[in-house]
Chains A and B, each alone.
Chain A
């Protein structure tokens, strides 16, 4: 049996030790638990939406309740699941280890960020208990300021607090990457997961405060009558849209960049090969982060924004697609002449590549202004962003969870069930959102709970897909939780992968390394002499 050892999971022992921990790995696990709860809640609302949409009439939920369902689905999934997901769980766990440090730069602030997340979440649950909000997660004025009679201001406080949590995570990552790298770990030896989270953190710290103040303005208009967006006072409701999307567009890059970082790690590890074009992939993360700040107006093409502004936003949006394409080609090229293993993480990788590809490519339709006139605010948009956020980000998150599960928990999960889960998710996902492209092109608007009869067949297919998708996730949850209690003990390096995290035990000791690392080789150095790696 394994000799007695103290990993970060066993020592120190006790609930208080966990709730007052400064260990980034424990904080990552705390986040994992709380994020999963919110994912389930967001999924519940999604189920309600899809059930209602089985029939063209509004027969399951009242109009107001349906509006609350999609609003809560959006708020929870965006602010309480997707934005923190990879950075707060995998990022928190791996960033210090990957740079060769004992912890993040500011461990106590890391813990505070988790508590802020929890407080924000409790506020959101309170709003839910008080009836929820019905403004959509986008809070467009004037509806959110003068139209809605739900608890908008309290919801805004919840989002504000959760946003502050993500700012703290981002700022911790930035200082860690700048100041905590082990000797020999130069910038261009960093794993691409670190580059991706670094770029994400830049977006987090620059964008989140803007949505924070914008939502404060909405709350101020509701509670203090400071009518900044009120047309009767000369205000412009479209100004809200500009300020809101200035964050919320980069926010979608917060959601996908870490996923791309996970992909780079998994593709390299599963192919046992150096990532093709390392510096291009690293640079593309930064390019996406920077360009992502310059495209917000593509959400406003039909909002009365000027044609010329629209043109600028459209062309830059086209440009931001290019670095993503570059990454995709680089990943595919990495597999060329690799040693590719079809273990379970690969299923998630291949699934991601297919789905992210479709999602990213369908963005081109929307970036093209003339087409966007037709497609804006239809199900085409809903399908596009779900392909990226669920087909892309969540597949990457699941792939990363699986890949690093042995490292984080010290246990191995059931490989066959993992493959089944990946397939269920892939098939279910496509069936859910593929038809939505079609029904959107045919004209079905978003946020509708009743619709013309001719759209029903697509909606039924979509709901069927959603059930399969849900089953895939529930299966994953089941075998992953089971593995914690009954799984086989994991060796230090079950995949035979390169990376500092695989040089330490599974799970790692509290201070990550028994011996302080010194780095003298590039990342993904699978082939220094052509000899193999040591697995186990």
Chain B
């Protein structure tokens, strides 16, 4: 496509017809929602008609009367008030300011008329102001104003943003992680208090939030579903149906967007899969997977949870769950089911305690309330190795854990925390593996969306084995201390690393040369490359001799200062030459002219014979 005219033609008319249809559809949906909001404003204007007309009529009658009634000036000669004087007197009388009788003392005729008009105008004025204030307090009017304000803010966003539908505890955690990364997001929630809470949460960036039902596609469209900068939709409401509706709306109106939804039942997850391929996060399923990983490879699990927790997270302790023996699972709900299956898949014995009559296959079942000491005694705690307190009641879970620890202090204890308010109690219990469904979902979504490379790393990492993971954890801890520093992505493309192109294309670009301090090349950079992606191939934790190629994408962990240093090396000409060769290259034009000999011969544009 070398012909510029043809390019132009293609840009205008060559767009995919399908894409345009989708754009139109989202636009229509958003327009409908916006029209609803403006309808409310029109209704308010309509309701203001009567008070305003009453006010105008009362004013005009009073003013007219005052101009018609004969008065007298200071000398006692008859005169009539002009319109301006009359309007002035009526204005300050109606607003109860009352400057007195201007320009001359009134006659009795005038005073009688003014007495009548005082009562008329004050009532008319109070009526108009009162109606206006009442309308401003009107719920419908306020929500219409909020909707307009919100849609304006969203429409003005010019950087990629995330659409979070459902701002509960999970949404808040996710929001804070994303805010720490400097990413923008837009929030929809049905609860007014949650949206009001947005202003109290100390976010760096302005977060547009709207109190609205996310099941309505119009609200999603107003929140930026049709916006070109929208990069993903996350459905985090506590209502399974609502999440399904959000996934449906996103898949039908913007099939190109990634969608992540929280689910707790397999049925809904499968119904969601019918719409494109949304990524579903089931906290119970994920906790089961994590527990299996923790059983098999404690260090891998430790690395996974640390990286998932986002920047600033403290290094979690490396647990050592028992790999053989009998486990007791209290509560056979959604979590109990997943865990029983997962534990049994690991070849462990499982005893289930459930108050109902669960249909458990091939397992020990104790029917009874787990918090009942007698029932717990039946479960033979002394010979068990682990206990899962997985009911949906925090009090029950806590008392289960306490009772179990008293009868067998060596038990490995896993518990489910349902409410955020119980967090200090569970922390005080020092539980070996704590499931907080909201946190599991938030971490998972963060890992998937923060950078695709992190998600890839976390998925590939368990295959490398436990020793490898322990080694990576040690390296990271040596570098960052016990708090995780930033994680970022570096793309070695001509656009994002212009100063490194010559080095990469030369074919001999070991990673170790890049990870040096630009101030002093003998010092290493405080960063670790966790992953290199080339095309679809990935290399985990490459060593210093790894040869980079143009187009590689790197996932780097380290200090913010290292990030700046690396950016300098990749963007500023000459810095990388110092890192590679050790020779300081002048960067200004004049010094380059004066010292041409300092040019390295490896640089492709350096002509060897050109010496002044």
Do A and B assemble together?
no
Residues of A within 8 A of B (CB): none
User: Which residues does B use to contact A, with CB under 8 Å?
Assistant: none
